[in-house]
Amino acid sequence: MERATIDRDTFVRPTARPSARARATLIVGTVEHGDQRGRELGFPTANLPIEEGIAGDGVWAGTVALTNGPTYAAAVSVGRRVTFYGRNGIRLVEAYLLDFSGDLYGQRVEVCLCSRLRLQRRFPDIDALIEQMRQDVEDTRAWAAARILSDGAHTAAGQT
């Protein structure tokens, strides 16, 4: 299991250092129906299609702002879901909003990719994937708790 580490309030892969010029990436789109795999694994996600060249593949700590609503901390996967579809899968943004329940289908959202936790990789089985997803959520909660959420984003404890 790959665990992210804190480096001056930024999560990075264990052996990587953030670029001094690193900036958050904003992706705006309408939530689409997916194959419900995240929900089946216990991590329902808001899915947005994404073109090549926009944001790097990986798992990110970030935020999701709802139109006319609050902003939530989120663990966000960008990539092709290689565990299930290999390199031929559709490229997606899949955002798991911390402490959110509800239906986002058809809603316009703003996903901000703030800090990459790890690269995408293929897992040998579903259990290994779920274990890593739990770690990704834990790392995102720690990132959100360490970050000053001056924009009113909801933290893991539901505080603003």
Where exactly are the structural domains of the chain?
Answer: 22-146
Please indicate, yes or no, whether the overall pTM of this predicted structure exceeds 0.85. no
Residue 18 has pLDDT above 50, yes or no: no
Look up tokens 């703003």; give the residue. Answer: 110
Report the CATH number of the 22-146 domain.
Answer: 2.40.30.30
- Cα separation, 32 vs 6, in Å, equals 33
Determine the residue type at 81.
R
Greater confidence (15 vs 138) lies with 138
Residue 68 in tokens = 């006319």
| 119 or 156, greater pLDDT | 119
pLDDT, residue 64, reads 96
Other CB atoms within 10 A of residue 17 CB: 10
**What are the pLDDT digits (tens) for 95-134?**
999 999 999 999 999 999 999 999 988 899 999 999 999 9
